Structure 1
Amino acid sequence: MSKKKLTAVLPMRAGFWVNLSLLAGIVLGSWACQSGPDKLPVLGEKKVVRKLVDGKQVTDTVYHAIPRFSFVSQNGDTVTEKTLSDKIYVADFFFTTCPTICPKMKTQMKRVYDRFKGNKAVMLLSHTIDPEHDSVAVLKEFADGLGVKGNQWLFVTGSKEKIYEIGQDSYMVTAAEDKSAPGGVVHSGAFILVDKEKHVRGVYDGTTEKGVNQLMSDMDKLLAEKK
């Protein structure tokens, strides 16, 4: 795991955890970047920078974005940020042996998969937080058990440090090992909606039908949104 000190976590509901300091950034980002009732906010911290354009100093806003990454999917393929180029996607974090919220999450994510199946502008990206157990073969078996075919819903594994790091620093959710917790890990039940520019546009409770209904409604809005 990243050596960066983990900040406090806030229990939003049983089994649903969001990084407290980053949650504040989400709220502030929502206030700062909301541009109308029909347009989703850009979440996370933003920076105001000055740069030289055509010989003139101009002010520009740099929004929080998902950085470069490299993982391996259930199909054995390398998955990078380029795999999701020009697509919106939903990300989450889970592990195949999770006895608590993961079954609920995967039931709800399957609803999203079925709703947008075949839409080439939409992908789903599920990161295992137990890469020691969740090998490519295990993830393939898990995906097959859900009836997932092709590359629209990818289950990815890789370096544990990198997975935890991108979860906390980029997707704004937290997972932490806890021997006293069922399965040995406490982690977020969040589904994170990301746009084509890799900006986070929404965070939803992936354990509930209500939360995922809102996600799918917002996905429709995002697909209709002009750059």
Structure 2
Amino acid sequence: MRITFHFNLGFVCALAVAGCTGKTQKRLPFIGERATEERVVDGKTVVDTIYHQIPDFSFLNQDSAVITNKTFDHKIYVANFFFTHCPSICPTMQRNLLQIYEKYRGNEHVAFLSHSIDFKFDSPSVLKAYATKLGVNDERWQFVTGSKKDIYGIADKYLVYTKEDTSAPGGYDHQGYLVLIDQNKRIRGAYDGTNDEQVRQLYSDLEILLQEK
């Protein structure tokens, strides 16, 4: 078996052919690194594509409970990075994400995951107060904290820039992306959470992802 790695600078697989109808069905791209794996089946070489996936993780949520990647098994979820006292992009980003959360209220297939990058201040109790004030009252939206190493490490896997920076507003510099993850932990889209047009695109793409077989 041979695995070859490639870096996907753009998007892969925008369209797929629907099996029995003969029609094309729009599909979202896969974002991030990918690899090709060669294997022999019945004497023939078959090449599979392995797409970038979010790795295993473990964090504490707003209820001081351990949340892992398994919490999101078989779910589509939207992930982002913020901190509770952020004076710049976070309030707009979280309000826009709240609208999506409310639209899918009662849909067990859609979840949300907000990682705090302020590992010093944003304890579970602080996150709980923040979630309550925002209007989150069920387990579909998790707010999590962890060590600097773990939080910033997982941000890299979501392809989101985060940095502790005393010169930045609130002491942290980060991107405001809302990252769309499919049921297999693969990145299928990233949207500026402060941009209304991109947030509308997230609504549309989430519907497309829900319809994927």
TM-score when normalising by structure 2: 0.89
1:202 corresponds to = 189
Question: Contact 1:108/1:208 (CA < 8 Å) preserved in 2?
Answer: no
**What per-residue deviation string (whole Å, max 9, x for no partner) do you get for residues 109-141 of structure 1?**
111111111100000000000021000000000
**1: CA distance between counterparts of 2:31 and 2:131?**
30
Q: Which amino acid aligns with 2:174?
A: H
More helix by share: 1
Q: Which has the higher contact order (CA 8 A, sep 6+)?
A: 1
Question: Contact 2:114/2:143 (CA < 8 Å) preserved in 1?
Answer: yes
Q: How does 1:26-105 map to 2 (within 5 A)?
A: 27-28=9-10, 30=11, 32-36=12-16, 38-53=26-41, 57-105=45-93
Q: Which amino acid aligns with 1:218?
A: D
RMSD (Å), alpha carbons: 1.5
Partner of residue 186 from structure 1, selected from 173, 187, 197: 173
Q: Which amino acid aligns with 1:219?
A: L
* Gaps in structure 1 of 5+ consecutive residues: 1-24
* Gaps in structure 2 of 5+ consecutive residues: 1-6, 17-24
**Percentage identity across paired residues of the two chains:** 48
Where in structure 1 do 4 or more consecutive aligned residues deviate above 2 Å? 25-28, 32-37, 51-58
**2: CA distance between counterparts of 1:26 and 1:149?**
38
Bigger CA radius of gyration = 2
Question: Contact 2:14/2:26 (CA < 8 Å) preserved in 1?
Answer: no
**What per-residue deviation string (whole Å, max 9, x for no partner) do you get for residues 163-183 of structure 1?**
101111x10011112211111
More strand by share: 2
**What per-residue deviation string (whole Å, max 9, x for no partner) do you get for residues 171-224 of structure 1?**
001111221111111101000000000110000010122211110111011001
- Aligned length in residues: 199
Question: Contact 2:62/2:128 (CA < 8 Å) preserved in 1?
Answer: yes
